[in-house]
Amino acid sequence: MDRATILDWTEAQVQLKLDDHRNVKYQVYRDGDKHFLEVQGAQGEPIHTLELPDGMKLDQSSYQVLLRYVLLDVVAA
């Protein structure tokens, strides 16, 4: 497969609720013709990998907003 990094591992503190947050790291990569947002815990434990819709190209701040929604969904599950 043809894998390329779009955004290398970036650390983030994601606010989940008023007094609740989670430290994570994430990367965005392309594998073939698909784009993925991969999220890991601060210690490298896998949390979730999200396939991004076709044509979705965002800047770093937009990925962080998407990251918050992914985490809220995963934590709620």
Bridge partners for 31 per DSSP: 3, 34
Q: Domain limits of the chain?
A: 3-76
pLDDT score recorded for residue 27: 92
Single-letter amino acid, residue 18: L
Tally of residues, the chain: 77
Q: Is the pLDDT of residue 7 over 90?
A: no
pLDDT in tens, 20-69: 888 899 999 989 888 898 999 989 999 999 888 766 667 667 777 777 77
As a whole number of angstroms, the distance between CA 29 and CA 75 comes to 23
Radius of gyration from C-alpha coordinates of the chain: 12
Residue 54 burial class via C-beta count within 10 angstroms: exposed 0-12, middle 13-18, buried 19 and up = exposed
pLDDT score recorded for residue 5: 92
Site of tokens 């947002």? 37
Two structure tokens written together for 8: 């290398």
pTM of the model: 0.77
